[in-house]
Amino acid sequence: MASRAVQARTAPRGALRSREFAAIAIFSGLTVVPAVIVAVVPIAAALGFLTPVPVALLAARTRPRAVVGAIVTTVAVTFVVAGLGPAYAVSMSVVMGGLVGEVHRRGGGMAVKTLMSVIAAPLLAAVSVLLMWLLAPLRKLALAVLDNMLTGIGKTARAIRLDAVGDAFDALNRNIADNWWLWIWIPGTVGALLTLLIASWLLGRVLDRLDEVPLEDTLEVAGVADGDRAVAPLPLRTAGVGYRYPGSDRQVLSGIDLVLTSGEFVAIVGANGSGKSTLTKILAGVEPTVGVVDRPGAPGLGRRGGTALVLQRPESQMLGARVADDLVWGLPAGTEVDVDALLDEVGLAGLGDRETTDLSGGQQQRLAVAAALARDPQLLIADEVTSMVDPDGRAELIAILAELPRRRGIAVVLITHRDSEARAADRVIHLEAGRIVEHHPGWMRPEAITPPLPQHHDPHGDALLVVRDLEHTYLPGSPWEVTALRSVNLQVNSGDGVLIVGGNGSGKSTLAWALAGLIRPSGGAVLLGGEHTYDRVGDVGLGFQHARLQLQKATVADEIMAVGGESVGTAEVGRVLDLVTLPREIAARRVDALSGGQMRRVVLASLIASDPELLVLDEPLAGLDPQAREEVLSVLAGLRDGGATIIIISHDLDSLDQVCNRRVELVDGVLDGVRDGGLEGGLEGGLR
């Protein structure tokens, strides 16, 4: 049955979806925290004005059913943690937040929110009056406590001969006892009005910062689009398929004609920005904006017998605490799965009881494949699954994926930048500028042989960074204690280029964070110019392993100027974009519209603009196509030629001799010399 070329985007209906449950959990937690703080620390009462904001934000960006779920969850958790009083207070706050967010979602401006606040405030205060009237024992107790307090104040005033003050407090006490409902309703109305107005103002400020963040998950829409159709994703044929993202006039894909059948292993290759990830979404069930996708039935993303998608970052797909739990997470009740057989199939035999957080990156990625296979998919799509995995793990993953079509009769689609991985496929689809081409220049060429990296280091040189007996342990003293680094010693001189290699789980990322001063080590020291790096945060520029997590602003120019500081203007933005070989016009583009490789280069441009004393780059080449790799390496080599000091932490060794003059290895948290490739070594430049 042919899929429609254009599908109307409608609000979700029916039961809450997993994404909405996640949002409820997050925003409920953000609401409970200030509520509990106020209950425990009365002088922090001003935080009470913030409690409506998280639920208001949720209400502004989702449907009422999710808001009701968040309100119920928040009140229940607050009651369990802090008791009845705080639970009642937070219930009023979250209802106010829900009202503010709903008005915003429907397009109401500040004037409408103010009018709503004026109307809602007395009604909300009246609820408090009604509850006190119904709960007579509680009302009597509250009035008795107030009577004791005011009577005591009156007696104290008379004791110091302030009879008029004492008489005034006595009169106030009688008035409250006779008109208790007014004394609850009037202050309650004023408080509710102030809270609503503050929440409305804060919500507007927050949403202004989030306008560029897409609300709709296109893959989730694909799942909703299945409707009641039977799941049957193969054989699949596309004819003239094109795609344009909402709000953009750029066609990301054009004229895509391809066929996928059962039992074949297909690789899709292409440069960053060529449309590979968008094509992945089309294959997974997202409707194209142009053209036709033919399938016998629904794509069935995540459903049994349908389409399974394994992503680049396995930790983003792990939900279970144990390996065996994660493998079956989300499967319908009563589904029978041979957990041991699946784990054995992907090379994780005997690890069913292991904590998922204890797995290496390669093991986590294999677990993601096993979880996909637990759905018995007809089509499995693996999107850059080896980019964060060490060389041994890459080879194992590709061997597993290549065997699946023959063993299970399913179709496997691999999105990759690596020639060696694409060669394992039965056929290769080359993408260039959103179109399928016969052969992409530069692809499927022989793998380059990386020459041994020379070891040039002067132990008596001008030391810029000194790492002395560095140790770091996560969650020390707890059952989950993990030691990531042990007795690491290293000296980096000004102008050095140091490559730090190591397998998944060896401690490379922890070392990167310690070098940048973002964690205070459990032992030892990391000294930049003789000072601890945690006292000089910002003087070491750190490029994260996952570039998207580092980009916080809406546009490229905003990101570069924010990281670079007040002195960075339009001219400097253009200069650093030139340095990282990105066109200057990309400065106005939204960050979310960039490819993975472009994001990495924008991060690098931002770091260059901040003029750090040292650059630490964690996996700077992950996810880059061959051309982009060469461009980034050329940029880094040019920076070193200009005197920059660079530390690269990477699985990739190809061509890094252009940038690095030293190479050391982390093994189980211990820094050791590299002994392969004829290198002699050890830490001849390290501190003993």
pLDDT over 60 at 221, yes or no: no
pLDDT over 80 at 686, yes or no: no
Compute the distance between CA of residue 63 and CA of residue 209 in angstroms, rounded to an integer: 21
Q: Give the pLDDT score at 3.
A: 36
- Residues 495-538 pLDDT 10s: 999 999 887 778 888 999 999 999 999 999 999 989 999 999 98
Which of 21-35, 255-269, 645-659, 666-680 is predicted with the least confidence, judged by mean pLDDT? 666-680
Residues 541-545: what's their mean pLDDT?
88
Residues 475-482: what's their mean pLDDT?
82
Most confident of 38-42, 84-88, 427-431, 547-551: 427-431
Q: Give the pLDDT score at 407.
A: 92
Compute the distance between CA of residue 92 and CA of residue 87 in angstroms, rounded to an integer: 9
pLDDT over 90 at 52, yes or no: no
Q: Give the pLDDT score at 218.
A: 58
pTM: 0.66
Confidence tier at 225 by pLDDT (50, 70, 90): low
Output the average pLDDT for the chain: 83
- Residues 433-452 pLDDT 10s: 899 998 655 554 444 444 55
- Residues 28-37 pLDDT 10s: 888 888 877 8
Angle between helices 180-210 and 52-61 (to 10 degrees): 50
Which of 70-74, 419-423, 446-450, 616-620 is predicted with the least confidence, judged by mean pLDDT? 446-450
Using alpha carbons only, what angle is made at residue 225 by residues 220 and 231, rounded to the nearest 5 degrees?
100
Q: Give the pLDDT score at 9.
A: 40
Collapsing DSSP states into helix, strand and coil, what is residue 488?
A: strand
- What is the share, in percent, of the chain residues with pLDDT greater than 90? 30
Confidence tier at 687 by pLDDT (50, 70, 90): very low
pLDDT over 80 at 16, yes or no: no
pLDDT over 90 at 471, yes or no: yes
Residue 294 main-chain phi, psi, to 5 deg: -100, 130
* N-terminal to C-terminal alpha carbon distance within the chain: 70
Question: Who's near 3: CB < 8 A, 6+ residues apart?
Answer: 287, 292, 293, 294, 295
Query: Whose structure tokens read 């397998």?
Result: 503
- Residues 362-392 pLDDT 10s: 788 889 999 999 999 999 999 888 877 777 7
Compute the distance between CA of residue 515 and CA of residue 520 in angstroms, rounded to an integer: 10
- Residues 242-272 pLDDT 10s: 998 876 788 899 999 999 999 999 999 988 7
The dihedral built from the CA positions of residue 324, 327, 331 and 335, taken in this order, carries a sign that is negative
Three state DSSP letters for 273-311: CCCHHHHHHHHHCCCCCEEEEECCCECCECCCCCEEEEC
- More confident of the two residues 247 and 675: 247
